[in-house]
Structures are given as structure tokens and as C-alpha cells.
Chain A
Amino acid sequence: MNIALDGVMLVLAIPAIAAALLAVLPGYRLSARVNMLASLLTLLAAVSLFFRHGPPVTYVLVDDLNIVFIVLSTVVGFTTSVFSASYIGHELETGRLTPTNLRFYHAMYQVMMFGMNLALIANNIGLMWVAIELATLATVVMVGIYRTHEALEAAWKYFILASVGIAFALFGTILVYMAAQPVLGEGLQGMTWTVLVAHVSTFDPALLNVAFVFLFLGYGTKVGLAPLHAWLPDAHAEGPTPISAVLSGLLLNVALYAILRFKMLMALNPAAISPGPLMVTVGLVSVVFAAFMLYRRRDIKRLFAYSSIEHMGIIVFAFGMGGPLANFAGLLQMTMHSLTKSAIFFAVGHIAQIKGTQRIADIRGLSETHPGLGWGLVLGVIAIAGMPPLGIFMSEFLIVSSTFAREPLLALALVFGLLVAFGALMLRLQGIVFGEPTGSSAPSQASYVPIFAHLALVLVAGLYLPPILVTWFQHVAQMLG
């Protein structure tokens, strides 16, 4: 148990210490290295949880479900820090960021990692709420870091919408406590996951129902689900690209994790409504809406931001369908999406730096000028569009086929959304990679390792899933119900 607690402690302590250190450390090269090192150590600590973790205690809960999330976010957190190191050097040269900005940026990066890890590990719904708020705040200030009019407007919009979301989530949290209070009495146990799960079948179902609606709206805003997604494309497009990568790869997942936890809670109370239909509807609306929005995008980062909305819709849809197979596919889809989308943003970040623009119309013919980045992007986009043999094809295939077996009409709507999105992505990709070359063809100092490491993982997952991973995911899928 000691070792386990140490793993948990490290996952929280390393980012916290690194944040304090980076806030005072001068020199961006050193900071970037410290940032990478801290992210790597956090990743190792997270992986150690796989092997040893203790039973839940008052504030800390580590089970098979959140280990998947923690490891995924620390992996992407680490590779993004590697990408960020090569990205910010260029930003400093072009004068878009100053050294003071960068010190702040690195410190905030670690604060965000701390907030996300805390949210994932918390065994208390109040603590989880505070941690998600902390992670959100850190990303808000990073989105606005360029201080341009557009960046500040994006940060403001993100801020206001996220705050409203977070307010709804808190109201839902209070209602859950109110439902628990008659059974569990006053105090801390009314907000502790493990205690709530053990006693939820005796809670008042009406109160739980209303609570879930608020929680779903609140955390759903942060997942970027369709009617509440307005902040997401702006925040992705106007902030630094490493932040776009962590937003899509991590923060959306953390909010999703909160929804899944509450869904598990609801499922244990026989009289409460089933959250499934609500999640399926919102997920499907997000998929179809985002798929159509993909066609009218002029900005390359916005394009992939809408693709994130589409994929979060697919994932929420899968978890809403429920059952071992759909849950398994949802988990796989989430993992694959995080890896692929962050790889795409790594490539897009370098491309936008070289070409000096994010306008799709001004980025052409990458396969001639920058074959490495161009082909990286091609691979990423065909992965995200769901082409075989890459990982997302497999998870989407599982989602669609399991839905066909149960609700053929829903599956048709989902397939329609997927095809529309596929068309849009291919249309844009063609011009970007194979068109007549435009803009600068100066050689880039891109870091290819994070891009291709992610894509290789996605490719391997599409061809062969290690049995240990399969059993792990199957077990988690069963937990999710």
C-alpha cells in the first residue's frame, strides 16, 4: 500500500513541484527540458499504478477505470511537452511570445497536468470539481497567451462558457450530496465516490435524475458536445498549438471521465432514469452537426477542432449505448482519438509555423515542400477519418456493428455522420498535401518523433491489440455497465 500511495503522490507531486520550479526558472531552453523531464517522470509514476495500487482512501481512488485515463493523459502530456519544446523556439524567434510569456506558459502547463491528474484520482465529487476548474483555468490563460484580439476573444468565450458549465456541474454535485444526505448523514462520506457507489441504490431517484441532467450539461460543455460546443473551435484555433493538442487529447477526456463516473452511479440505482438515451441523442447530434460544419472551415486548426467535436460525439454515443462491446469500443475510440488528434495537431503546428498562416487556402502542396510533415498529416487524417487498417477504423467498426445489432436506425444515422465527415476531411486534405505548392518551402526543424510515435501506436492498435490491453479494457467495459 505504501508503494501505491507513492505512485499516486508522485503523479500529483511532480507536476506541482515542476510548476513552482518553472515559474521561477529563467531561460526557455532549460524550462522546456524541465517541462519534458517532469512530464516523463509523471508518466513513469502513472505507469507504476498499473502494477501496484492500493485500496481507495478518503480522497484518493485508483481503480482500473481511471488508470486508463491517467496513463493516456500522461502519455499525451509527455509527447506534447516534447513537441512544445520545438514549437516554442520558433514562436520566440518570430516574437509572438516573449521569455516571460514562456515562463508562465510552462508553469501553467504543469498546473494543468496537476489539475487533470487530481481530477482523475479524486475519490470525492467536490474535489474532482475543484480540480477540473483548476485545469480549465490553466488552459484559459494559455489560450489567451498571444494577447491578440482574436486570442483574447477566444479565451473570453471559453471562460464564460466553461464557467457556466462548471456552475451547472457544481449544482449537480450539490444535488447528489442532497440525495446522499438522508442515507449517509452529514459530512464527507456524502461526497465520496466509493461510499456513494455502495449506497446509491437507496437514494431518492428523482433527485438523482435532476442531478444527472445538471452534471451532464455542465461537464458536457467541457466535453464540447453539440449545443454547448461554441468555445471549442475558437480555443483550439487561437491558442498555441501544444494547447490545442492537450485540449483535444486530454481535457475533453477528463470531463468525459466525470460524466462516466456519474453514469455508473446512476446505473446502480434501479429507479433512476437511464442516462443512455440522453447520451446517445446528444452524441449523435454532435456527430452529425460537426460533420457538416467540417465543410465550411477555412482555418486548419478549426477544421480539426470540429473533428474533435465529432469524435467526442461518437465516444459519448458509444458509452450511451452501453453494454460490454460498445463500452469497449468507446474506450478504444477515446484512446485512439487522443493519440491521433494530438499527432495531427503536432503536424499542423509545425505546418502553420512554416507557412506563417492557418488559412487552409494558403497551405498547399505539402508533399512536395515538406514531405515528412505532409505525409504525417496524411496518415493522421486518414486515421482520424476512420480508414482501415488504423486503430480508429477498428473502434468505429465495433461501435457501428454493435449498434446495428441493437438499434439499426441509430447506426444508420451514425454512419451517415461518419461518411459526411470523411468526405469533408478528404476534400481538405487533398488541397493541403497534393495541391500546387505555395508559401515558404524553407526546411523545418520539426520534431517528427512525437508525431510518428503516436501514429505508429495507432497503426499497431489497428493491426494487433495486445491481449493484456484487451482484457483490461474488457474489464473496464464491464465496470461501466
Chain B
Amino acid sequence: MHGLAFDIAHLLAGSLVLVSLMMLYQDRLYALLNVFALHALLLSLSVGWQAYMQHAPHLYITAFIALVFKAIIIPIVLHRMIVSLGIHREIETTAGIGTIMLAGIGLVGLSMAVMLRITTEANLIAREDLAFALAVLLLGLLIMVTRRNAVGQVVGFMSLENGLVLAATGAKGMPLVVEISVAFSVLIAFIVIGIFLFRIRERFDSVDVQALDSFRGERG
């Protein structure tokens, strides 16, 4: 049983890294959002599995937040925002896809090399989870730096944060995990509202309300 439980945890956390890599090469916003929803779903399953394995019922709350907030609400809201604000649907990346993928593979290798070496004393699941979590975190950072678009950056940040939740749940018995995941959800809600304001401002700029105002002031 323990072997199977471990394999499932390993599978879920490993898939999270794979989905992070998938996010790297998405060049359309809708596709990126869909892949992110999958990422959040996998995170929720992974956290739920940890909750079951560690007999830690409070982790189900974190899993639930990940499922409802990050896998459903946020992608839908961002989807609508893209439609209503008329943002370009194709994402400009700052480097070629091939280069980005190579860098991503390098980062995964780096996190395995660092984390597996220093966590020899920790138990096996925590060890694997931390290594995968660092990989997800670094890949999230890579997604952020390679996107010029604000929505793309936010998706990168959210995937980075998924890595942190994975690490926090993997560290067995860590207190405040639920509080931290709630704090992060608030942070993300703020960011999403932030983009909304930011984009609205850009639209105002394009119809040049400021120019109108100063013109009126001059005549009056």
C-alpha cells in the first residue's frame, strides 16, 4: 500500500512539472489558460492525496481552494477579461520556443541536482515533492520572464505559486499551510484586479481622454 501511495504522489507531482513545461511553449492566451487550469487541477489532486496520506484534514481545504479558485474561477475570469478588453490573443515571447524549452529542461535538472542532494535525511515523499516544487517554481519564473503580456505573467506567477503550495504540503505537518494558501489567493485576486485596472487604463489612453481634458481646460 505504501508503495502505491508513494507512486501516486510521485505521479501527480511529476505531472505538475510536465504541465509546467507544457505551459512554456503555449503561444496563445486561451491555450495557456487551459493548460493552467489543468495545472491547478493536478495541484488540487496532489494536495488532496497528501491530505489523505498524512491524515491531515486541513489540507483538504487547501486542495479545495486550489480546485475552485485556481482551476475554475481564475481561468474563467481571465478568459472573460481577454474577451472584454480585446487583448491580443497571441503571446509575444522574448526568446524562441526552442531556447525557452532548453532553459526549462536545464532548470528542472538544476532543481533535481540541488534538492535531491541536500535532502538526503528527509523522508522520500517530502524529498521528491521539494525537488519537483523547486522545478515548478523555477519554471514559473521562466514563464514570467519570457512573456511580455500581463496575463501571461500572471499565469506564470500562479504556476510558481502552485509549486510553493506543493512544497508546503509536502513538508509533513507544516503549520499555517492553509493560511498561506489563503494569503496567496488574496494576492492573486489583487493581481487579477490589478490587470483589469491596468488594461482599462490602456484603453483610455487609446481614445486619449487626457488630451480631451487638457484641450477643454485650455478653451474654458
Interface residues of A (CB under 8 A from B): 124, 126-127, 129-130, 133-134, 137, 140-141, 144, 147, 149, 152-153, 155-156, 159-160, 163-164, 166-167, 170-171, 174-175, 177-178, 181-182, 185-188, 190-191, 204, 206-207, 209-210
Tell yes or no: B102 within 8 A of A by CB. no
Q: In the complex, what residues of B have CB within 8 A of residue A170's CB?
A: 164, 168, 180
B176 on the A face (CB < 8 A): yes
* B171–A177 touching, CB < 8 Å: yes
Give, as a whole number of angstroms, the nearest-CB distance from A160 to chain B. 6
Do residues B175 and A171 form an inter-chain contact, with CB atoms below 8 A?
no
Contact B191 A163 (CB under 8 A): yes
* Mask of B118-145 contacts with A, CB within 8 angstroms, 1/0: 1101100010001001100100010010
Stretch of B10-18, B21-29, B153-161 contacting A (4+ beta carbons < 8 Å): B153-161
Q: A156–B198 contact, CB under 8 A?
A: yes
B residues near A137, Cβ cutoff 8 Å = 186-187, 190
CB-contact partner of B173 in A144, A153, A181, under 8 A = A181
Q: Which 7 A-B pairs have the closest CB atoms?
A: A186-B173, A126-B176, A206-B118, A188-B175, A174-B167, A178-B171, A207-B118
Q: Do B172 and A206 touch (CB < 8 A)?
A: no
Check A187 against B173 for contact (C-beta < 8 Å). yes
Kindly report which residue of chain A lies nearest to residue B172, judged by CB atoms: A186
Chain A interface secondary structure, helix, strand, loop or mixed? helix
Chain B interface size, as a band, is 35 or more
> Which residues on B sit within 8 Å (CB–CB) of A182?
121-122
Q: Does B205 contact A (CB under 8 A)?
A: yes
Q: Which residue of chain B is the closest to A213 with respect to CB atoms?
A: B114
On whether A174 and B174 interact (CB within 8 A), knowing A130-B183, A159-B194, A182-B122, the answer reads yes
Cα–Cα, bound, A129→B173 (Å): 18
Contact between A129 and B157, CB atoms less than 8 A apart:
no
Q: Are B174 and A177 in contact (CB under 8 A)?
A: yes
Interface centre among B119, B150, B179 (most CB of A within 10 A): B119
- Neighbouring A residues of B122 by C-beta, 8 Å: 178, 181-182, 207
In the complex, 5 of the A-B residue pairs with CB atoms within 8 angstroms, ordered by the A residue number, are A126-B175, A171-B137, A178-B122, A181-B173, A207-B119
* Residues 163 to 220 of chain B near chain A (Cβ within 8 Å): 164, 167-168, 171-176, 179-180, 183, 186-187, 190-191, 194, 197-198, 201, 205
CA distance A432 to B37 in the complex (A): 54
Residues of A contacting B117 in the complex (Cβ-Cβ under 8 angstroms)? 206
A159 engages B183 (CB within 8 Å): no
Whether A210 contacts B118 in the complex (CB less than 8 A), given A127-B176, A156-B198, A164-B157, comes out as yes
The answer to whether B137 touches A129, judged by C-beta atoms less than 8 angstroms apart, is no
Shortest C-beta distance, B70 to chain A (Å), equals 15
Contact A149 B194 (CB under 8 A): no
B residues 59-101 touching A (CB-CB < 8 Å): none
Closest to A178 in B: B171
| B167 proximity list for chain A (CB < 8 A) | 171, 174
**Residue from A164, A178, A187 within 8 A of B141 (CB atoms):** A164
Query: With A127-B176, A133-B183, A191-B175 known to touch, is A160 a contact of B144 (CB < 8 Å)?
Result: yes
Residues of chain A within 8 A of B172, CB atoms compared: 181, 186
Question: Contacts A126-B176, A129-B180 hold; do A178 and B130 have CB atoms under 8 A apart?
Answer: yes
Alpha-carbon separation in the docked complex, A166 to B164 (Å): 11
